[in-house]
Amino acid sequence: MSDEHATASAIIRLMQGVVYRESDEGTWNTVERSGAAVRDHFATIGVDVVVDEEEGYAYLRSRPEVQGEEALPRLVRRRALTYPLSLLLVLLRKRLLEFETTGGEGRLVLSTEQIVEMLRLFQADSTNDARVVDTAEATIRKAAELGFLRALKGQADHWEVRRILKAYVDAETLSDFAGRLREYAGKGLANE
């Protein structure tokens, strides 16, 4: 495969979503080797290539608008997340942070049951447990569809928490969301 073909292929893969070193080594190597060409391609359309060498992933991000410059149309769409999905991503990010802080090496793997239990703590008291579980499982599937979870082959109902989550849910977002949850819990207790 020629360098031009490999670079074009890497550009297309980045446009399709996050590129992981572990699962797409060829594209990862091209992004590393031809990084300037890939970055230059996207720079002309107002998109940055973000590469996290330590965690082993690369993705595209729209450049922030600059005061006084005419804004380009957005190539990378913003996604409006539902409350359950936002909650799950924050809880997974918190769990990933705890995993890393306690010296956890490798990857964080959780069962569907563990994730459902994490979400159940924040569900309104419901007498319909099946509905709570169905909603949680649908939220898990959506998180997997967006690339934040990956189903493990050969281990039914086990999910790897993908480290790209760290790029989407940073420490500030984690802190803000935790504050809102405390405020929400305080209002709930005050109304009782």
| CATH, residue 57 | 1.10.10
Instruction: Report pLDDT for 76.
Output: 62
In terms of domains, do 183 and 100 share one? yes
In terms of domains, do 165 and 90 share one? yes
What is the extent of the structural domain holding 46? Answer: 3-62
In terms of domains, do 47 and 100 share one? no
Beta bridge partner(s), residue 48:
61
In terms of domains, do 126 and 180 share one? yes
Instruction: Report pLDDT for 27.
Output: 92
For the question of whether the overall pTM of this predicted structure is more than 0.75, the answer is: no
Instruction: Report pLDDT for 70.
Output: 79
Any residues with CB less than 8 A from the CB of 144 and at least 6 apart, and which?
150, 151, 159
Instruction: Report pLDDT for 113.
Output: 93
DSSP string spanning 136-171? HHHHHHHHHHTTSEEEPTTSTTEEEE-TTHHHHS-H
Which pLDDT tens digits describe the chain residue by residue (192 residues)? 678 899 999 999 998 888 999 889 999 999 999 888 999 999 888 889 999 998 889 998 888 777 777 777 776 666 678 888 888 999 999 899 889 888 877 889 999 999 998 888 776 666 677 888 888 899 999 999 888 999 998 887 999 999 888 888 876 676 777 676 666 555 543 333
Question: How many domains does the chain divide into?
Answer: 2
Structure tokens given for 81? 């997340």
